[in-house]
Chain A
Amino acid sequence: MRIANRRRGKLSKIQRRDLLMALLLAKGAGGKSDPLDRIRIMKSLFLLSQEVPKIAGLFHFEPYLYGAISFDVYTELDELESAGLVTTTKEFSNERWNRYFLTTKGTMGAREASKNLPKSILSKIESLKRYVTSKQTYELLKEIYAKYPAFAKRSVIKVTS
């Protein structure tokens, strides 16, 4: 009950950082808190902002070179990294550059952040995490471009169905 009240009270104070950390904490298609590359983080938050009206204005998404992007997401990631809450590992693979992991401190922070979010948003985040981690990058972009074509107009990748 207390948590429910707390969640209701926080509705108007949802922070971009909380959403990002909850996304990194959520279980992916593999059943674990899989790290995410920036494309998947970007697309998860884009879908979240499109499909959850309560957070529609938190990130400013615009059509860009690989579809919808918000430079706010890059800023938040930099700040989380500076605060020691996330870290990145660079690997020799085009598909998985710069994946973002929660640190131990970040995991504790993400658990706390998740408590601040309404259940409906948490549930949406979890389903989006499973979705973006179950797709190859191109397949993911293709599906999102098909669903939100207005945000694909500047993309270097043109998808025809």
Chain B
Amino acid sequence: MGKDGIVVASDGQSTENAAGQPIRAVCEKIYSLGKGALWGASGDGGAIQEVKRQLDALGPTELQGHRTLCGLFTKIIFGINKPRVERFKALRLQKSPPILAKALLAQYDGNSPCIVEFNYDGSTTGYEELGYQAIGSGNIFARASLQGHQTRNLPLDRAEILGYMTVQKAIEIAAYGLGYPIDVWTLSMKQRFPMVERVTEQKKKALSDTVAAISSAQMEVLLSHHAPPVNT
């Protein structure tokens, strides 16, 4: 969450359960709800598809208002996870529990930007005060990258860089479960109305190059302030 908008970024890989080992697939994870909200989900590809299918089945009037959307996401996420857990308990075919769905909603409630996480169990958490949140298997990496950045003070173009850098680092670090391509969206107020925009492929290249330039500057800072050891 920047000072003039929200950036939502994701990797492009979903992880599916299979007989031998989990398998990966390319998957979109960020979607817009009209012009005023963005949502993303984690879990396997089927869970994300199910959230999207249920939202697509609703008319525009049913998707208006922050409270309405929060209620819908809570119901959908819990509704997807509950039978998965019940089936797992009943069958016990897998050693590890099923991959459960979570969702993150970015939206303006009036003029106030909101980030809400919808947990496995139907509970919700707001992240307006912290200014950022991450879900999915890369969330620890993302949170570690975002920690310490005063995201609420960042202009939107700087927040885009941070969002891109965060996902890129998570993909590079994680042993599995994350992969390219990176997807970046913004939500900001344009002439008193919220507006979602997807960052173009060309602009993502510029973001990637900017991240490389920042890395070179960080190295310069570390190297230039290196003092030689003092002999005692």
B216 touches A74 (CB 8 A): no
How many B residues are at the interface, by size bracket? 20 to 34
Contact call B210/A66, Cβ cutoff below 8 A: yes
Which residues of chain A come closer than 8 Å to B206, judged between CB atoms?
64-66, 69, 71, 74
Residue pairs across A and B with CB atoms within 8 Å: the count is: 67
Q: Could you tell me which residues of chain A, from 48 to 69, have a CB within 8 Å of some CB in chain B? A: 64-67, 69
Complex alpha-carbon distance, A50 and B212, angstroms: 24
Interface contact B209-A38, CB-CB below 8 Å = yes
In chain B, positions 12-31 with a C-beta closer than 8 Å to chain A are none
A74–B212 contact, CB under 8 A?
no
B161 at interface, CB cutoff 8 A: yes
Q: Is the CB of A39 within 8 A of B215?
A: no
Name the contact of B216 in the complex, choosing from A64, A67, A138 (C-beta under 8 A): A138
Could you give, for residues 123-161 of chain A, a 1 whenever the CB lies within 8 Å of some chain B CB and a 0 otherwise? 000000000000011110100000000000010110000
Tell me the complex Cα distance, A49–B205, Å.
Answer: 21
Cβ contact of A157, chosen from B172, B207, B208, B213, cutoff 8 A: B213
Known: A74-B202, A74-B205, A75-B202. A65 touches B161 (CB 8 A): yes
Residues of B within 8 A of A67 (CB): 213
Chain B residues, Cβ within 8 Å of A136: 216, 219-220
- When distances are taken between beta carbons in the complex, the residues of chain B under 8 Å from A74 are 202, 205-206
- Determine which of A71, A141, A156 lies in contact with B158 in the assembled complex, contact meaning CB atoms within 8 Å: A156
Tell me which of B158, B205, B217, B219 contacts A38 (CB under 8 A): B205
How many angstroms from the CA of A102 to the CA of B209 in the assembled complex? 20
Count of A interface residues, CB-CB < 8 Å:
25
Complexed CA–CA distance, A66 and B158 (Å): 11
Give A136 to B205 CA distance when docked, in angstroms.
20
Query: Hey, what's the 0/1 contact readout for B204-232 against A, CB within 8 Å counting as 1?
Result: 01111111111111011000000000000
Instruction: Decide: B157 and A92 in contact? CB cutoff 8 A.
Output: no
Q: Out of B203, B208, B220, which one reaches A138, CB within 8 Å?
A: B220
A156 to B203, CA, bound (A): 15
B208 touches A65 (CB 8 A): no
Q: Mark A16-53, 1 if CB is under 8 A from B, else 0.
A: 00000000000000000000011100100000000000
Cβ-defined partner of B217 (8 Å) among A64, A65, A97, A138: A138
A94–B161 CB distance below 8 A:
no
6 sampled A-B residue pairs with Cβ under 8 A:
A37-B209, A38-B209, A69-B206, A94-B211, A97-B212, A157-B214
Residues of A within 8 A of B (CB): 37-39, 42, 64-67, 69, 71, 74-75, 92, 94-95, 97-98, 136-139, 141, 154, 156-157
